[in-house]
Chain A
Amino acid sequence: MMKSVFLVDDSSTMLMSLKSTLEISGFKVDTATDGEQALGKLKSGLKPDLIITDINMPRMDGITLIQEARKILRFTPILALTTESQQTKRDEAKKLGATGWLVKPVAGTDLVRIVKQVVPGA
């Protein structure tokens, strides 16, 4: 069965490029443009196999999204894909339940490799 990835980023080009990359690699992709919209979709019953979220976003940032999403989906892997590289932010995300931290830009093949690594059965 096709695995699903939920992309959250306020950049339309990021969403477009990541969605294309993952769809070419055989994943089903849903998207949201900020943390609040993403949380709404999760509360509506969306159950992706993986969440990839930006950190610096309007309305609700990625750190808050990780914290709230973890209350709904306890075991779904969550990757932060961001330009931010500060260790304090990494530690905070890790403490709130993030699975990994990727600093933009990430090569498409590296991203696909990591996604397959963290999604069971992908």
Chain B
Amino acid sequence: MNNPQVNPGELSNPATMTAEEARRFQRVRTWVKWGSRALVLAACAAALGVMHVLWPTDADLRTAVIALVGVFIGLMAADFRVVRKMLAPDSVPDVITNDLARLETCFAILQKQVTVTIKTSEHAVMEMVERLNRVHRRSTELHDQIVAAVGRSQSLSQSSLHEAGRNGETIEALTAHQEAFVTARRQNQERIRSVVEQVRHLTPLASLIADISRQTNLLSINASIEAARAGTEGAGFKVVAAEVRRLSAQTAEAARQITEGIQSVAEAIDGELMAASQLDADGAANQLGELAIHVGQISQSLADVVPYLVRLSQDMNDGMQSVTTDIIDAMGHMQFQDINRQLLEQVESALGSLAEHSAALYALLGGKAPPPPQALEDLMQRWVAGYVMHEQRAAHAEIEKKTLGKVVGEANAPKLELSEPEGPKIELF
């Protein structure tokens, strides 16, 4: 630590002394007191020693004489002006002057302690208010998210209900279509059976015609043979035979056309059946396709809902975590009350001791009492010993530094150890 440059003349005036100077002054005074006493004792001892050397055989009388001389010399030595001043108790004006000189510093320290208390309160309350505001903001955000989620759920429910309604209509249409299809198919089957029966009746007829045609052809061949055997008389039969053969050919042609007609009718029936089947299939396919689209839309809605709910749950979790953290930190800032309590307890104790000291000074002024058992400076040192936190020591050191700065200048004021924090705020051994 650098010692301040102090004008030696100022040291002799207690009113202008700083705390450090006062402490040095006190130390010097103590040394002088004990030094003078040691001097007296040393003088006595020296006298006894001389007596013993000079009169070893007649020590009793000479010892007493020389002891008296030694004490006398010691007292004379202790009676120097400076030593006598140091040994003498402080005069009443000196005591009052010293204390008044330190009183301003004293009150400044207490004022600073109260200021620290106020700042601690302000800081803690501001932090708590900030945390509570954050909790409020986060809660509002969560509320908005919940409202949005409820709105979206309602929309999804309505959409689902709408889709379900459309699916119901489609299913009803499909059911009606299916019933109509079954009825139509049954009727078609009846008609086909009827047609098939009719066709079955036509087939023997065509065979009969074909047989008639063959027999007629044979008859015409026989007639031609007989006509050839009869010669000219059979010429008429020859003409008839030719006509019969032509009729047979026409009959065969008719039979072929009937067969083709039956075939054509059968193909026509098949075509009608296929067309009817295709119509039914197309209608059902359309209905089923529409139903599939609706179901797909519902599935898509549900697929959107799941990640939305997961995200919402995560947001809620994060929000609650943030709110919990802010609440925990806000409660941590409530520790300021304990800090302030200890700061104020110290101020209260200091004011009490100051009141007692002032009362003692007042009694001293009236000549009713001896000087106080301790100087104000000592009282302040007791305050320092009672400090329990860095803020108290720092406030004290700051005021002491300012007081000293008034004497030696701010630039020359020494750095005070009290203002240095000791150790980290959190330390695990």
Interface set of A (CB-CB < 8 Å, partner B)? 9, 11, 13-14, 16-18, 20-21, 24-25, 55-56, 82-87, 90, 94, 98-112, 114, 117-118
Give the residues in chain B near A24, CB-CB below 8 Å: 324, 327-328
Cβ-based interface call for B287 (8 A): no
Give the residues in chain B near A84, CB-CB below 8 Å: 388-389
Since A17-B335, A24-B324 are in contact, a sample of 17 more A-B pairs with Cβ atoms closer than 8 Å, ordered by chain A residue number, is A14-B338, A16-B334, A24-B327, A24-B328, A83-B388, A83-B389, A84-B388, A84-B389, A103-B390, A103-B425, A104-B338, A104-B339, A105-B124, A105-B336, A108-B328, A108-B332, A117-B428
Give the residues in chain A near B423, CB-CB below 8 Å: 85, 87, 90, 101, 103
Q: A85: which of B329, B334, B421 is its contact (CB, 8 Å)? A: B421
Instruction: From known contacts A13-B337, A24-B327, infer whether A100 and B332 are also in contact, taking CB-CB under 8 Å.
Output: no
For chain B, residues 385 to 429, give those with C-beta under 8 angstroms from any C-beta of chain A.
Answer: 388-390, 421-429
* Nearest Cβ on chain A to B250's Cβ, whole angstroms: 112
Q: A106: which of B325, B426, B429 is its contact (CB, 8 Å)? A: B426
Instruction: From known contacts A83-B388, A99-B428, infer whether A105 and B329 are also in contact, taking CB-CB under 8 Å.
Output: no
Query: Interface on chain B toward A: helix, strand, loop, or mixed SS?
Result: helix
Give the residues in chain A near B327, CB-CB below 8 Å: 24
CA separation between A82 and B325, bound complex, in Å? 22
Q: Which residue of A lies closest to B328 (CB)?
A: A108
Sampled A-B contacts (21; CB under 8 Å): A13-B338, A14-B335, A17-B331, A18-B331, A82-B388, A83-B338, A85-B423, A85-B425, A87-B423, A90-B423, A100-B429, A101-B426, A103-B425, A104-B335, A105-B336, A107-B329, A107-B333, A108-B328, A108-B329, A109-B328, A114-B428
Give the residues in chain B near A108, CB-CB below 8 Å: 325, 328-332
* Nearest Cβ on chain B to A50's Cβ, whole angstroms: 13
